[in-house]
């Protein structure tokens, strides 16, 4: 990945990533990715989980028990019968400030390494 002059992320093609079509995932794969994002946060610091849920606009007050969390989480990204908005889930994940900072740190590091190699 690299950045255009406008600061857009690209996949080394002329088009920004936002304009590059992503391959379609099977609904089970999309569900597994969305589930794994939640699981990763539930295994960590509870405060980070709460901040992330707020970041993505998840209404934590709408659930009454822990058993309702995963179905409600999947419902947050469901766009049809068995279909999930994986693009939105990944955009939410990559724009969460700690993740976004790391992405840009890695991109800057890669750019620096590439420029030194020339």
For the chain of 118 residues, list the mean pLDDT of each consecutive stretch of 10: 50 52 81 96 92 96 94 95 92 96 94 84
Gyration radius of the chain over CA positions? 17
pTM of the predicted model as reported, rounded to 2 decimal places: 0.73
pLDDT value at position 10?
47
pLDDT value at position 16?
55
pLDDT value at position 12?
47
pLDDT value at position 65?
94
Report the distance separating Cα 2 and Cα 109, nearest Å. Answer: 11
Q: Is the dihedral angle over the CA atoms 24, 29, 35, 40 positive or is it negative?
A: negative
b/e map 79-106, b = 16+ CB within 10 Å: eeeeebbbeebeebbeebeeeeeeeeee
Helices (H), 1-118: 27-42, 46-56, 69-77, 86-94, 97-117
pLDDT value at position 60?
93
Q: Which two tokens stand for residue 93?
A: 């994940």
Q: How far, CA to CA in Å, does 39 sit from each of 12, 33, 43, 69, 70? A: 32, 10, 6, 11, 9
């Amino acid at each position: 990945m690299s950045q255009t002059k406008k600061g857009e992320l690209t996949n080394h093609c002329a088009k920004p990533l936002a304009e590059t079509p992503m391959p379609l995932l099977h609904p089970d794969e999309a569900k597994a990715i969305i589930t794994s994002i939640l699981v990763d946060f539930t295994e960590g610091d509870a405060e980070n989980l709460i901040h992330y849920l707020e970041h993505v606009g998840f209404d934590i007050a709408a659930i009454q028990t822990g058993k309702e969390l995963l179905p409600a989480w999947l419902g947050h990204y469901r766009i049809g019968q068995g279909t999930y908005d994986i693009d939105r889930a990944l955009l939410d994940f990559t724009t969460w400030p700690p993740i976004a900072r790391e992405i840009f740190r890695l991109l800057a590091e890669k750019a620096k390494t590439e420029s030194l190699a020339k």
